[in-house]
Amino acid sequence: MMAAARLKAFDNREEELVHKHSLRCLDEIGVMIKSESVRADLERAGAKVDHKTGVTRIPGSMVKEALGNAPKSFILCAREPKHDKPVPVKSHPWMATTGLAVYTLDLETGARRSTTSKDLANFSRMADAMNGVDICWTTVTAHDVVQKALAPHSLWTALQNNTKHIQVVPPTNGAEDARKQVELASLVAGGKEQLKKRPLFSVIMCPVAPLSFEKHSVEAQAEFARAGIPIVCMSMSLSGGSAPVTVAGTIVNINSENLASLVISQVSSKGAPFIYSSESAPIDMTTGVMDYIGYEIPLINAGASQMAHRYGLPCMVSSWGTETKEPGIQCSFSELSVTLVGNMVGSDLCSGAGSIDSAKGASLEQVVIDSYLWENCIPMMRGFEVSEDSIALDVTKAVGHGNTYLKHVHTARNFRKHIAFRDQTKKLWEATLSTKMAPEAREVARKVLKEHKVPPLAPDVLMEGDKLLEEYDKRLSG
């Protein structure tokens, strides 16, 4: 048997209450779906639709059926199969980079500037190189491409510069964008059927809290579901802003949005891969902005994780990063503790490596820093064996009362397996309220960009993908 230390939010009665009120929410209040085609699909499946308002009420029977059809495990596949990541995990979450940042700090000058395709390529290569990063989220926004085609361009750039699983931004052009992304990834996978068997990317889809699904986003979700691309339903419920100010009310909103999204995916395609997700937080009542280091975050994360586990769904309900304005660690001990404890809830994935300025920016140096920090935190979340052998009662009998285990052969044979050792070099980077590690991180980033080589796509695949995007850009710009 394997055990792991995990934070739990609810007792059985409380968990049941959250589930019950989530079903009530969907059945009595419903969700607003701003797509006629998706509403029509749901109505045929048994939902009650008000076509004037778009409010769609989902009965508990539809939720139950969707939960029965959703896969409980699958693989987030990668260009290089050695980087395939199964979910759910057995120990620590798989780490992804931050996503959708609109600016970066130039690696050479330190100046703040808008991000480009070249930056996205560099961040993708950095994610490919760092051991602490498992998944490449399309980290920055490429401002130098046709913005209506941003999502396909972002995926194509990441596919060329990263061999790990890729998470992409929500499509801005609806189902058409989704089809183009599937087409591009199919070139790399070897065809649409091969992509369905080995999904090289997944898609972050954010409901608009509270309880609303935008037209382009939800229509793209249906298209991705039919193509076998995993959907990550990232509820961004803000306590006191777009959700009740209470922790329990926020969790019910998260749960309701995820269950509604699950129903949408399963109605679109039975058995579509789905990941329960939340990047929710309270708002800072002094500024009105999202508080990524609020004390409530571990509680919200734990509640969302527990509900995902109740339903047997893989989940992405935690995030990582030191909430810094410039490369380094500028948060206090308690703020850093919120981030760490928020990951010890049983989440299968988390994201945020490289984030600065509340995810508005991204820094190559910060990718290095966050990756190193994460590698030092992983041992706290690892599984440990619980068996007659690991309990080692025979060793206790041999050592005897009041004696030491230090000289026993069992200790010598097993201590490296059961006790984790900190990397002493990386530990020196962990002083809070400090940016002293930034110059060293900058040198690591420079070395990676100079030396790390990502295997190129085949020339014919690269040519065909470039041609697809060129034609798509022309049509959208015309």
Domain boundaries, the chain: 67-381, 384-418
Order of all β-strands in the sheet with 94-97: 315-316, 274-278, 231-235, 201-205, 165-168, 135-137, 94-97, 349-353, 318-319
pLDDT at 446: 97
Q: How far apart are CA 299 and CA 290, in angstroms?
A: 16
Provide the pLDDT for residue 223.
97
Whole-angstrom Cα Rg for the chain: 23
pLDDT, residue 364, reads: 98
The C-alpha atoms of residue 328 and residue 280 are separated, in whole angstroms, by: 24
pLDDT digits (tens, 9 = 90+) for 73-121: 999 999 999 999 999 998 899 999 999 999 999 999 999 999 999 999 9
In this prediction, residue 1 carries a pLDDT of 64
List the structure tokens of 432: 């809070």
Residue keyed to tokens 């306590």 = 239
What's the CATH number for 67-381? 3.20.20.480
Here the tokens at position 69 are 């059809």
Q: Which residues of the chain have pLDDT under 70?
A: 1
Q: Which amino acid is at 6?
A: R
- pLDDT for 284 equals 87
pLDDT for 68 equals 98
Would you state the pLDDT for residue 342?
Answer: 95
Backbone angles phi, psi at 184, to 5 degrees: -65, -45
Confidence at residue 287, expressed as pLDDT on a 0 to 100 scale: 84
**Surface-to-core class of residue 200, CB atoms within 10 Å of its CB (0-12 exposed, 13-18 middle, 19+ buried):** buried
Dist. CA 416–CA 418, nearest whole Å:
6
> In DSSP terms, which residues pair with 55 in a beta bridge?
32
- pLDDT at position 116 is 98
- Cα–Cα distances (Å) from 185 to 63, 135, 200, 464, 466, in that order, read 31, 16, 7, 11, 12
